[in-house]
């Protein structure tokens, strides 16, 4: 199940091109939605209608209705031109004589670090205490492939572990194993762009977020309660078939009506720029309209600047600065600003030394930015980047593991119990008190909680064969549920002892070939498996 994937050599242009090809191919396959029964193809991207309710219910019950917005900077953002090391400007200038930001174009945040003037929209947020920066963020044995490093950030796995489930997807699955048959009334997560990202994917390869390819798709759903117009078709047999498919697609998208209602209830009070701004404008409107979704991911592409970096990178940073600043102004007008934390993520930084093409190659450590009044003041967290002490590849060394930030945000912002955080992260990562996040809300950890039961299902002619391990003795109940949630067969397997067990079940005649959900319940334990019955 696990294997080790080594990074590619950036000195080999062919290998770099192959990495991009593999990345795009994998993204394309995931966009088809072939691996999850709950996914359908909408305009080139999957919309997943089945999602977990436990995390959504947990977060929505908290005082303050806290929200997390992940801002993905796709392609590997150059941290040194984002948060400029003024304290060692001479070394910085020597390493990148053609792309270093000139002194007269730097806004100092403190005597040691600054931002380029095109990011000036963030200066007020910094002064108001609504921005923090974590230095030198990365992970051990940095993989320099976009494909692999993006997965590491999304799954929170070690470099040598090939994990296919996301850090938030595992949490959603662990705390509510019956999510397939009890979808929530609201989408627990919304992701704009970045199809193929694993952050919200569970261990069964189901994406638990509503995923749209771009903000225009989400806007069409929000404005019309559907993605496609089934009446705008040719008057012919093809048009009839197209109308049917569009109607079916719109009906399958469970959350369209809720998104439309929230969108029309919320209003933007500022004029956003394009790109990231268009995405955050939609997020702000859905938040202010009371959608109830607590997890969002937005995506800004274009950070893989191997050549002519200063023709592109400054404009991207300006877009981030303006969009984020306006986002919080918009939220403030609706009384939501102090309830929303935003955090930038990117698969890696860039190399400190510029290349011969006036660009930067794939690097390692990079700063991570956080925004929002919930930070309780501005500041820098972690060790300063050391431009004179690079690793053997000429990259900055990391000092803060990105998983420390994840764990801190989960526990101190979303108020998830610390033991549950350690479980979903795979092990305990030291928290970062310097982030200033505080949680004083009880998460109800004394309540009885359903836990995931490991279940393996194989099929035969009109038969199911089950393998599972009971943590404790008890009565076992089995259900077969249709993809729409209808219980088609239910049967008691009787009282069983703790330990490894096997059972077989004959299928009723009303169960036709197709995709179904098999549930096995024993006390507070539940196993769920998606199967195709012949």
pLDDT of residue 240: 62
Cα–Cα distance measured from residue 289 to residue 478, given in angstroms and rounded to the nearest whole number: 40
Interval 442-459: pLDDT, tens? 444 334 455 677 888 988
pTM score, whole prediction: 0.73
Interval 179-212: pLDDT, tens? 555 556 677 788 898 777 888 777 777 777 777 8
Cα–Cα distance measured from residue 2 to residue 180, given in angstroms and rounded to the nearest whole number: 26
Among all chains, which residue has been given the structure tokens 């390869």? Answer: 205
Burial of 415-450, coded b for 16+ CB within 10 Å and e otherwise, reads bbbeebbeebbbeebebbeebbbebeeebeeeeeeb
Which phi and psi (to 5°) does residue 311 adopt?
A: -85, -15
Q: Where are the alpha helices (DSSP H) in 156-196?
A: 167-175
Q: Beta strands of 65-223 (E only): which ranges? A: 67-74, 84-85, 106-108, 113-116, 131-138, 189-192, 210-212
pLDDT of residue 37: 29
Instruction: Kindly indicate the confidence band of residue 344, based on its pLDDT and cuts at 50, 70 and 90.
Output: very high
The answer to which of 225-234, 298-307, 426-435 has the lowest mean pLDDT is 225-234
| Contact status, residue 375 vs residue 130, Cβ threshold 8 Å | yes
More confident residue, 337 or 481: 337
Long-range contacts of 469-474 (CB under 8 A, 24+ apart): 469/499, 469/500, 469/501, 470/496, 470/497, 470/498, 470/499, 470/501, 470/522, 470/525, 471/498, 471/525, 472/498, 472/522, 472/523, 472/525, 473/497, 473/498, 474/522, 474/523
| Contact status, residue 37 vs residue 180, Cβ threshold 8 Å | no
The answer to which of 32-36, 248-252, 296-300 has the lowest mean pLDDT is 32-36
Q: Which whole-number Å values give the CA distances from 15 to 146, 257, 455, in the listed order? A: 12, 46, 40
Please give the average per-residue pLDDT across 84-92, as a whole number.
Answer: 98
Cβ count near 524 (within 10 Å):
13
Instruction: Kindly indicate the confidence band of residue 530, based on its pLDDT and cuts at 50, 70 and 90.
Output: confident
Cβ count near 454 (within 10 Å):
14
More confident residue, 426 or 228: 426
Whether pLDDT at 31 is above 50 = no
Q: Which domains does the chain have, with CATH numbers?
A: 13-219+276-435 (3.40.720), 453-533 (2.60.40.3080)
Interval 37-51: pLDDT, tens? 233 322 333 333 223
The DSSP code sequence of 11-76 is T-HHHHHHHHHHHHHHHHHHHTT-S-TTEEEETTEEEE----SHHHHHHHTSTT--EEEEEEEET-
Please give the average per-residue pLDDT across 453-468, as a whole number.
Answer: 87
Q: Over 246-295, what HEC string results?
A: HHHHHHHCCCHHHHHHHHHHCCCCCCCCCCHHHHHHHHHHHHHCCCCCCE
pLDDT of residue 234: 76
Task: Assign 296 to helix, strand or coil.
Answer: strand
> Residue 321, class by beta-carbon neighbours within 10 Å (0-12 exposed, 13-18 middle, 19+ buried)?
buried
pLDDT exceeding 70 applies to what percent of the chain? 77
Cα–Cα distance measured from residue 468 to residue 492, given in angstroms and rounded to the nearest whole number: 15
Sequence-separated (6 or more) residues with CB below 8 Å from residue 160: 4, 141
Whether pLDDT at 246 is above 60 = no
Please give the average per-residue pLDDT across 348-371, as a whole number.
Answer: 98
| Contact status, residue 156 vs residue 263, Cβ threshold 8 Å | no
Whether pLDDT at 18 is above 80 = no
Q: Which two tokens stand for residue 351?
A: 């190399």
Please give the average per-residue pLDDT across 129-156, as a whole number.
Answer: 94
pLDDT mean across residues, the chain: 81
CA 52-47-243 angle, 5° bins: 135
pLDDT of residue 400: 97
Query: Residue 130's closest CA among 140, 117, 121?
Result: 121
Sequence-separated (6 or more) residues with CB below 8 Å from residue 242: 233, 234
CA 346-394-18 angle, 5° bins: 55
Cα–Cα distance measured from residue 134 to residue 309, given in angstroms and rounded to the nearest whole number: 23
């Amino acid at each position: 199940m696990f294997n080790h994937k080594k990074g590619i050599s950036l000195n080999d242009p062919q290998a770099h091109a192959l990495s991009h090809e593999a990345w795009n191919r994998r993204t394309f396959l995931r966009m088809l939605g072939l691996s999850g029964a709950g996914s359908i193809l909408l305009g080139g991207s999957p919309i997943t209608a089945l999602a977990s309710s436990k995390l959504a219910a947990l977060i929505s019950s908290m005082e303050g209705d806290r929200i997390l917005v992940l801002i993905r900077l796709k392609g590997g953002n150059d941290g040194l031109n984002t948060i400029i090391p003024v304290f060692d400007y001479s070394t910085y200038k020597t390493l990148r004589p053609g792309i270093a930001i000139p002194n007269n174009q730097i806004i100092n945040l403190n005597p040691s670090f600054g931002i380029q003037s095109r990011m000036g929209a963030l200066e007020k947020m910094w002064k108001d205490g609504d921005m923090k920066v974590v230095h030198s963020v990365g992970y051990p044995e940095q993989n320099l492939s976009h494909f692999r490093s993006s997965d590491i950030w999304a799954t929170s796995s070690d470099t040598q572990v090939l994990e296919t489930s996301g850090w938030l997807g595992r949490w959603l699955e662990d705390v509510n194993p019956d999510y397939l048959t009890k979808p929530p009334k609201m989408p627990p997560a919304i992701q704009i762009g970045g199809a193929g990202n694993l952050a919200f994917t569970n261990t069964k390869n189901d994406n638990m977020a509503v995923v749209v390819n771009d903000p225009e798709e989400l806007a069409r759903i929000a404005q019309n309660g559907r993605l496609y117009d089934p009446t705008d078709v040719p008057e012919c047999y093809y048009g009839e078939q197209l109308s049917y498919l569009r109607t079916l697609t719109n009906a399958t998208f469970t959350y369209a009506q809720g998104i439309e209602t929230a969108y029309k209830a919320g209003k933007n009070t500022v004029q956003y720029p394009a790109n990231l701004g268009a995405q955050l404008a939609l997020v702000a409107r859905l938040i202010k309209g009371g959608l109830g979704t607590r997890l969002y991911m937005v995506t800004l592409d274009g950070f893989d600047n191997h050549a002519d970096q200063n023709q592109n990178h400054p404009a991207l940073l300006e877009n981030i600065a303006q969009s984020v600043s306006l986002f919080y102004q918009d939220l403030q007008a609706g009384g939501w600003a102090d309830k929303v934390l935003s955090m930038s993520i990117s698969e890696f930084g860039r190399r400190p030394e510029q290349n011969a093409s006036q660009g930067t190659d794939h690097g390692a450590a990079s700063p991570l930015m956080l925004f929002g009044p919930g930070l309780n003041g501005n500041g820098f967290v972690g060790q300063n980047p050391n431009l004179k002490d690079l690793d053997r590849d000429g990259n900055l060394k990391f000092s803060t593991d990105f998983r420390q930030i994840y764990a801190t945000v989960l526990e101190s912002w979303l108020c998830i119990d610390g033991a549950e955080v350690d479980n979903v992260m795979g092990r305990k990562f030291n928290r970062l008190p310097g982030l200033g996040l505080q949680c004083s809300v009880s998460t109800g950890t004394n309540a009885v909680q359903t836990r995931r039961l490991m279940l393996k299902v194989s099929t035969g002619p009109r038969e199911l064969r089950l393998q599972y391990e009971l943590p404790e003795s008890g009565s076992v109940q089995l259900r077969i549920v249709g993809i729409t949630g209808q219980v088609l067969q239910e049967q008691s397997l009787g009282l069983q002892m703790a330990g490894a067990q096997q059972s077989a079940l004959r299928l009723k005649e009303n169960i036709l070939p197709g995709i179904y959900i098999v549930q096995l319940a024993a006390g507070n334990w539940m196993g769920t498996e998606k199967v195709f019955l012949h």
